[in-house]
Copies of this chain bind each other. A is one copy, B any other.
Amino acid sequence: MQYTERTSGSSAETVVAMSDEMSVALLPNADAPDAPPLMAPGRPTVAILGSGDFSRSLAVRLVACGVSVVVGSRCVKRIAPGLFPDAVELKDQEGAVARADRLVFLALFPEHYPSLLGLRASLAGKVLVDVSNAVKLGRSRLSNAEQLAEMFPESVVVKGFNVISAWTLQTGAQDGNRQVLLCSDSVEGKNEVAQLARRMGFHPVDLGGLRFAQDLESVPLGLFPLWRGPVLTTFLLFLFFYGYGFIRGILLPYLANGRNAFYRLAFDLVNESLPAVALVTLALVYLPGLFAAWLQLWRGTKYQRFPCWLEGWLLRRKQLGLLSFLCAALHGVYSLCLPLRTAAQYRLINAAYTQVKAGVEEPWDELGVWRSDLYLSFGVLGLSVLSLLAVTSLPAVGNILTWREFTFVQSGLGYVALTLSVTHTLVFGWNFAFSAQAYAFYMPPSYMLAVALPCAVLVCRCFLLLPCISGRLARIRRGWESKRKCPVSQHHHVVANSTCPEV
C-alpha cells in the first residue's frame, strides 16, 4: 500500500492508494438483503481516457469506492509506475474502451477530442462523460460537450464533474464542493453518472439538456463575479478622495504659496484617503437595508420584489463590508507607522528646538490631550468591532451561528462599528469645522465629506427604531399586508418588476 499525497494539505487529506484486496472487500455479500445501499450488485468497470492529474485523482477515488478502473492512454509505456493505484489497469485507448461496461470518462483537454475519432466504433453505445471546461468565456461557439456529441453521434454524451477540482476528487467531498452538476440529453446516461457520483460521495444536481453545457463550462472560469462591483466602487472612491486631497493639500498650496509638499503623496495622502473610503463603504453596506425597509413600509407589503439595482446591491453587502474592513485596517497600520517616518522625527526634533529657543516649556494642552486620547480609543475600538464582523463573515464561522446570532453580529455589531467610526472621525475633527482654517481654498477636509453619508445612515436608522415604525415593519416582515395590496379581481396585476437580468 502506498501513501499518495499529490496535493498540499494536512495529514487528514492523506489518500491511501488501494490494493486489489480493497476493491474486492467492498463487494457486498450477494445474498445479504441489507446490502449497503450505495453499492450496486456486481462491480462496474469504468474507463478513463487520459493519464494526467484529473485522470489520476478520478481513478484513485473510484478505486477507493469499489469500482473497477481501466485507464487508456496514448502512450502506456510513458506512465510512471506508482502513478496510478495497483488496482488500475493501464491499457491503450482501444483496449480501455473495450473493457468499460458503459461509462467512459474523457479526461483530455477538448482540443484533443478529434484524436479519438478513430475509436468511434468502439465508443458507440457507451456513455461519454465530458469533464472539460471552456477555454475562454465566449458565447459564440458550441460548447465542448455539444461538439463532442456531433463527433460521436452514436454515443451518449453527459457533461459533468467539470466544477470539481482534482484535489476535491482525491480527498473527498468537503464543504461547498459536494455538488456535481450534470447535463445531458439522455435521461438514462445522466442517471448512470448520477449513481456513480453518489457512490463517490458527491451530490448530483441535474441542469437539464445538453444545451445548458455552455453555462456549465463557464462556471469554473468565474473570477469573483460578486466582487467586481464593490471593488470598482471602492477603487473609484479611493481615486476621488486621493485626487481631492491632492488638489486641496498639495497642488493648490503649491500654486498659491509655492509650498512644496509633494512628499505627502507617498504616505500622508494615502492615509487620508483610506479612512474616508472605509467610512463611505461601511455606510454603503447599511444603506440598501434602509432603502429596502422604507420601500416595504411605503408599499405596505413584503411580497413585491425590489428594483434590480437594489437586489444586486443587497447581494453585495458582504463584499462591501470586507472591503471597508480592509481599508480601515490599512488606515490603522499606516497610522501606527506615522512615528517611524523621517518627517515625523524631523517635526519632533524641531519642535523641541523651537521650544528651547523660546525658553519656555511646552504648555500642557488639556483639551488637545483629551481629544487625541479619545479619538485614538474610538478608532481602536471601531476597528476591533469591524474585525469581529470580518471573522463572522468566514464561511466556517458563519455556518455555525444561528440566525439570531448572525443577525446580532452583522446588524447589531455592524451599527456599533459604524457609530464608533463616526465618533472617531467627529472627535478627530473636534472644532475644526467651525474654524476658517479648515476650509482651505473653500474645500473642506476629506473626512468631513466622508462622514456625511454615515451620519445620514445612522440618523435614518434611528427613525426606524421608533416604536410605531418598527412595529409596522415587523408586522410587514411577518407576512401582514395592507389591504390595498391584495386585489380580488384576477385581471388586476400588481406586479411591478419584470425578471431582473442576471444580477
Contact = CB atoms under 8 A, between A and B. Distances in A.
Interface stretch (A138-146, A231-239, A348-356, A418-426): A348-356
> Within the oligomer, what is the number of copies of this chain?
3
B397 A494 contact: no
A21 to B, nearest CB: 5
A194 B3 CA distance: 22
Interface stretch (A122-130, A215-223, A251-259, A436-444): A215-223
Given A9-B318, A175-B395, 4 more contacts: A7-B315, A10-B400, A18-B208, A343-B369
Interface string A316-348: 111100000010011011111111111101101
A207 B1 contact: yes
Contact of A404 (B51, B223, B343): B223
A16 interface: yes
A456 B174 CA distance: 38
A41 interface: yes
Given A206-B66, A362-B353, A479-B108, A376 B77 contact: no
A411 interface: no
Contact of A403 (B165, B376, B486): B165
A29 interface: yes
Interface in A451-503: 478-479, 481, 485-487, 490, 492-500, 502-503
9 contacts: A12-B400, A16-B181, A77-B495, A78-B487, A221-B404, A267-B373, A330-B384, A342-B365, A342-B371
B13 A400 contact: yes
A338 B373 CA distance: 9
Given A38-B37, A364-B346, A304 B408 contact: no
Contacts of A64: 205-206
A319 B225 CA distance: 29
Interface in A245-266: 263, 266
A8 B406 CA distance: 14
Contacts of A66: 206
A174 B394 CA distance: 13
Interface stretch (A183-191, A275-283, A289-297): A183-191
A372 interface: yes
Interface in A52-91: 52, 64, 66, 74-75, 77-83
A188 to B, nearest CB: 6
B79 A8 contact: no
A10 B37 CA distance: 33
A74 to B, nearest CB: 7
Interface residues on A, range: 35 or more
Contacts of A326: 384
Interface centre among A26, A36, A177, by most chain B C-beta atoms within 10 angstroms, is A36
A99 interface: no
A145 B356 CA distance: 81
Give 10 nearest A-B pairs by CB, closest first: A82-B499, A396-B396, A352-B352, A267-B373, A266-B373, A175-B399, A34-B40, A342-B372, A11-B222, A37-B37
Contact of A479 (B109, B188, B349, B397): B109
Contacts of A361: 350, 353
B8 A319 contact: yes
Nearest to A111: B478
Contact of A368 (B50, B305, B342, B486): B342
A485 B78 contact: yes
A316 B8 CA distance: 6
Interface in A364-393: 364-366, 368-374, 376-377, 380, 383-384
Contacts of A190: 25-26
A343 B372 contact: yes
Given A66-B206, A203-B172, A376-B341, A225 B11 contact: yes
